[in-house]
Amino acid sequence: MDPRKTLLIGCALMLATLIAFTGKAMISGSEPASTDSLAAIKPAPKAARILVATRALPVGTILTPDSFRFQPWPADIGDAAYFVESPKTDISALNGQVVRTAISAGQPLIQGALVKPGERGFLAAALGPGMRAITVPVSALSGVAGFVFPGDRVDLMLTQKLGEDGQEIHAAETILRNLKVLAIDQRTNALDDKGQQAPQVSSMVTLEVTPRMAEKISVALNIGQLSLALRAITDNGDLERAIASGKLRLPDGVDPRTEQKMLTAFASRPDDTRQTYATGADVSAFQRRYAGRRGSATSAARADASPPRPATQTTSPPGIRIWRADTVQTVIF
């Protein structure tokens, strides 16, 4: 045999032997798992579902059904403060609760961050920074027949009667606008005592106002009768007027989320700057005519009652008048 071929075959055998020993060493280094070790391996725990916020919930937000939802979450959370989905979890009880600690969008709801109606500090948590709560009496007529619910926005009107001795003037004035309703009687949500959402005639309405507005309402309670005017949910008239007049200016380059947040904050602010009023003469043609006749008669009576002015006597200097044809000449001495 050719010595060259013999050398090549020998090198190939040596290389194959080396590869075989290396592979055996690698295989022997990792021992197969025993039956006991396989039994110790447990399947991955199933993910739980907990309540998370669907949007940012700042302090004072009153929870509604669209404020939260269930989302998969690691099962080993190990915290009983979360609301875990189970047959015993009653999420309807969260409606009407108030956020005491700010919750970001997608963050789990924690029981310690919420305040239930009736608990201490509930109304204080529902108030915005620098705001006050004041209660006004209403009736079926002045309270929109019970169709005002917590969370709605209303305008506050003052009705009063001015004048005396049969010369009264009836007037209604819108003194405050865009006020947030915090509670109806002792209810802070839209559910009645039976757990149903139905109109209910109430006697007291609690509103969120500024300190200055609270002073105005306290005085208005002693002047006349207060009435509520319910505002539409989509009413953005004040916001549009503020943008058109330049009162509300948005900085350049602001992202859409920040812009929406600024617009929402402005639209939620109560207003006491645009006061309007209407009197009986504005709504009744008879009162307009009656007021005009009464004003004319009063002026005539005052003119008749005024004492006559003394006649002023004028004296002419002494002299004579001379007539010549068509001309008259006066000669003064």
d(CA 6, CA 317): 171
Does domain 48-115 match CATH 3.90.1210.10?
yes
pLDDT level of residue 218 (50, 70, 90 thresholds): very high
* Distance (Å) of CA 40 to CA 36, 37, 48: 6, 5, 23
What was the pLDDT predicted at 38?
Answer: 43
pLDDT level of residue 246 (50, 70, 90 thresholds): low
CB distance 97 to 113 below 8 Å: no
Lowest mean pLDDT among 7-16, 97-106, 153-162: 7-16
Instruction: Return the sign of the alpha-carbon dihedral for residues 123, 128, 129, 134.
Output: negative
What was the pLDDT predicted at 314?
Answer: 47
Token representation of residue 68: 């939260």
Whether residue 298 is predicted with pLDDT greater than 50 in this model: the reply is no
pLDDT level of residue 240 (50, 70, 90 thresholds): low
What was the pLDDT predicted at 199?
Answer: 67
Whether residue 195 is predicted with pLDDT greater than 70 in this model: the reply is no
Give me the phi and psi of 113, to 5 degrees please.
Answer: -90, 0
More confident: 218 or 111: 218
Output the average pLDDT for the chain: 75
What are the structural domain ranges in the chain?
Answer: 48-115, 130-235+273-281
What was the pLDDT predicted at 259?
Answer: 67
Whether residue 315 is predicted with pLDDT greater than 60 in this model: the reply is no
| Per-residue pLDDT tens over the stretch 137-146 | 988 777 777 7
Whether residue 312 is predicted with pLDDT greater than 50 in this model: the reply is no
Share of the chain above pLDDT 90, in %: 13
Token representation of residue 135: 């209660």
pLDDT level of residue 306 (50, 70, 90 thresholds): very low
d(CA 37, CA 108): 37
pLDDT level of residue 202 (50, 70, 90 thresholds): confident
Whether residue 212 is predicted with pLDDT greater than 90 in this model: the reply is yes
Whether residue 234 is predicted with pLDDT greater than 50 in this model: the reply is yes
User: How much is the average pLDDT of 269-296?
Assistant: 75
Whether residue 113 is predicted with pLDDT greater than 70 in this model: the reply is yes
What was the pLDDT predicted at 84?
Answer: 84
Tokens 């969370």: give the residue: 151
Whether residue 190 is predicted with pLDDT greater than 70 in this model: the reply is no
User: Would you say the pTM of this structure is higher than 0.85?
Assistant: no
pLDDT level of residue 208 (50, 70, 90 thresholds): very high
Share of the chain above pLDDT 70, in %: 63
d(CA 312, CA 332): 23
What was the pLDDT predicted at 219?
Answer: 94
Q: What is the CB-side half-sphere exposure of residue 309 using CA atoms within 13 A?
A: 4
pLDDT level of residue 136 (50, 70, 90 thresholds): very high
What was the pLDDT predicted at 75?
Answer: 64
SS3 75: helix
d(CA 22, CA 19): 5
